[in-house]
Amino acid sequence: MSYSAQTDRFVHDRLPPPEQWPRISYDLSELQLLARVNLVQALFEGVARRGLGDRPLLRSPRRTLSYAQARIEVARLAQALVEDYGLVPGNRVLLRGGNSIGMALAWLAVAQAGAVAVATMPLLRAKELIEIIDKSQPTLALCDERLLGELQQAQAQQPVLKTLVSFDSLHQSGQLALAAARYDGQHPACATAADDIALLAFTSGTTGKPKAAVHTHRDVLAACETWPRHVLRATPDDIVMGSPPLAFTFGLGGLLIFPMWAGASVYFPDIPYTPEAMAQLIFDTGATIVFTAPTFYRQMAPFMQEQAAQRGRAAALRLSVSAGEGLPDATRQLWKNATGLEMLDGIGATEMFHIFVSAAPEQVRRGAIGRVVPGYSARVVDEQGQELPRGSVGRIAVIGPTGCKYLDDARQTNYVKDGWNYPGDAFVQDADGYFFYQARTDDMIITSGYNVGAPEVEDALLGHPAVAECGVIGQSDLERGMIVKAFCVLRPGAVGDAALVRALQDHVKASIAPYKYPREIEFRDKLPRTETGKLQRFKLKTP
pLDDT for residue 89? 98
Please report the DSSP string for 457-520 in residue order: HHHHHHTSTTEEEEEEEEEEETTTEEEEEEEEEEPTT---SHHHHHHHHHHHHHHS-GGGS-SE
Which residues lie across from 96 on neighbouring strands?
Answer: 120, 143
pLDDT of residue 14 exceeding 90, the answer is: yes
- The superfamily (CATH) of domain 444-540 is ANL, C-terminal domain (3.30.300.30)
- Kindly report, residue by residue over 299-325, the tens digit of the pLDDT: 899 999 999 999 999 999 999 999 776
Upper half-sphere CA count for residue 72 (Cβ side, 13 Å) = 11
Query: Which residues belong to CATH 3.30.300.30 in the chain?
Result: 444-540
pLDDT for residue 207? 43
Give the pLDDT band (50/70/90) at residue 536: confident
Say what the pTM is: 0.86
433 vs 536, higher pLDDT = 433
pLDDT of residue 204 exceeding 60, the answer is: no
Which residues lie across from 305 on neighbouring strands?
Answer: none
Query: Highest mean pLDDT: which of 48-62, 283-297, 457-471?
Result: 48-62
397 exposed, middle or buried (CB, 10 Å; 0-12, 13-18, 19+)?
buried
Class of the CATH domain delimited by 196-398+409-442: alpha beta
3-state secondary structure of 52: coil
Query: Which residues belong to CATH 3.40.50.980 in the chain?
Result: 38-191
CA distance linking residue 174 with residue 80, whole number of Å = 13
- Kindly report, residue by residue over 166-175, the tens digit of the pLDDT: 999 999 889 9
Query: Which residues belong to CATH 3.40.50.12780 in the chain?
Result: 196-398+409-442
pLDDT (average), residues 369-384: 95
pLDDT of residue 539 exceeding 90, the answer is: no
Quick count: other Cβ atoms within 10 Å of Cβ 410? 9
pLDDT (average), residues 115-121: 96
pLDDT for residue 530? 56
- Kindly report, residue by residue over 219-242, the tens digit of the pLDDT: 999 999 999 999 999 999 999 999
- Kindly report, residue by residue over 319-345, the tens digit of the pLDDT: 999 977 677 787 888 899 999 999 999
478 vs 13, higher pLDDT = 13
pLDDT of residue 531 exceeding 50, the answer is: no
Give the pLDDT band (50/70/90) at residue 109: very high
For residues 356 and 373, is the Cβ–Cβ distance under 8 A? yes
Q: What are the phi and psi torsion angles at 183 (to 5°)?
A: -110, 160
Q: 38-191: what fold?
A: Rossmann fold (3.40.50)
